[in-house]
Amino acid sequence: MLDLKTKADLQCLVDEGLEESLTLDYKASLAISREGKHPDEMCKDVTALADSAGGQCALSP
């Protein structure tokens, strides 16, 4: 599992070009807004990670 404790840790993953995988899913901050379908989509993504091999949902600005 990745050790993501700070925003800088997340930015390193993005800068290094680490691609999404079964255990890593990048989401923009829009995904956690209260408008439109974004919260529903975020819930589906988090549930999918929990139902599979587990993983981390990394929010980016």
State the number of CA atoms in the 13 A half-sphere of 50 facing the CB. 6
User: Does an H or E element contain 14, and which?
Assistant: helix 7-15
- pLDDT tens-digit readout, 9-41: 888 988 999 998 877 877 776 666 777 777 777
pTM of the entire structure?
0.49
- In the prediction, which pLDDT does 35 show? 72
Residue 45 included in any domain: yes
Residue 52 included in any domain: yes
- In the prediction, which pLDDT does 25 show? 76
Q: What is the C-alpha separation between 26 and 52, in angstroms, rounded?
A: 16
Residue 51 included in any domain: yes
- In the prediction, which pLDDT does 15 show? 92
Q: What is the C-alpha separation between 42 and 6, in angstroms, rounded?
A: 21
Residue 2 included in any domain: no
- In the prediction, which pLDDT does 31 show? 64
Domain that holds residue 42: 7-60
Q: Could you give the number of structural domains in the chain? A: 1
